Amino acid sequence: MKILITGAAGFIGHHVTQRMLADGHQITILDRLDHSGNLNRLSEIGIPNSQTRFIFHDLRAPINSQLAAQLGHHDWIIHLAAATHVDRSIDEPMAFVLDNVVATCNLLDYARTTDSAFLYFSTDEVFGPAPPGVAYKENDRYNSGNPYAATKAGAEELCVAYENTYKMPILITHTMNVFGERQHPEKFIPNTVIKVRDGQNVIIHADKTRTKAGSRFYIHAAAVADAVAFLLARGQSGQKYNIVGEREVDNLELAKLIADIQDKDLTYEMVDFHSSRPGHDLRYALDGTKMKALGWSPPHSFEQAMTNTVNWTLANPHWLLDMKLKEAA
């Protein structure tokens, strides 16, 4: 198939692109190479090549007729491009409205003129914090805890509206806390890898008592890409799908696993989650029953995927920050 992928130079985007190439598709990459876009990711997975072409565009601006002609027809549009940094969304909410809501609307306007199927990549954060024992299903209510989540929810609703109004074939996915190769080094997992390697203190976000660590259903980016490939073949228009890791892991357990993989001791400090990072929630949880019923589950265990990621990261230190240099700066 011919597939247009926005945000392909981003962390999740380049894993999805790698999978689509492996499946033999022709890929058009649409990216503006902003905060999270990095061409080195694409270079390391063998792009450019005969299956791909790259077109620069900032989706905050509409896709005009000249650009539309250059893009041509695609069987699928996979919309991964987004501003995602929660802390920055709290400081600059309007920038996230432009990047996530306006940009999605511009892409939907283009898609409805091209007879392309559309997959929108959303987040667990639209549902807000999950109480113990609760895992949100695809169509549960929104309860955005920060501007980033609200803009992703807004873009989701635009997709629903375009499917209802223009009868566009649209799928929506939610996923949470993706990890893997070439992740931004300030994210928790690569940051913990380097701190454990160097014997530094790891900050574990916790509740107010500093005894209960925050928890997530972590999932490897290659598993997310596998789920996307599955949905291109099996997904139904107008439906939402949760892409969920195999089990819930709290951040202290995760840090200990990263230390064990390196055969290192873990030095850590539990920090009041909300006091240190307002807008972040202690626990997120999605229900993966729908995808499981369709026949999809993560292709590798959490432990195996994490072991592979830690070992790869240590073998590729150019994707890590030197924490000592960062602190000195």
Per annotation, catalytic residue among 31, 99, 125, 163: 125
Q: What phi and psi values does residue 112 have, to the nearest 5 degrees? A: -75, -10
Nearest to 203 by CA among 264, 262, 269: 269
Contacts of 243 (CB under 8 A, 6+ apart): 173, 174, 175, 219, 223, 224, 227, 228, 288, 291
Per annotation, catalytic residue among 124, 156, 163, 281: 124
Query: What is d(CA 177, CA 306) in angstroms, rounded to the nearest whole number?
Result: 13
The secondary structure of 96-123 as a DSSP string is: HIIIIIIHHHHHHHHHTTTT-EEEEEEE
221, 217, 175, 179: CA torsion to nearest 10: -20
148 catalytic, yes or no? yes
Per annotation, catalytic residue among 148, 162, 241, 268: 148
Instruction: State which amino acid sits at residue 283.
Output: R
Contact 28, 53 (CB under 8 A): yes
218 catalytic, yes or no? no
User: Which residues are known to be catalytic?
Assistant: 124-125, 148
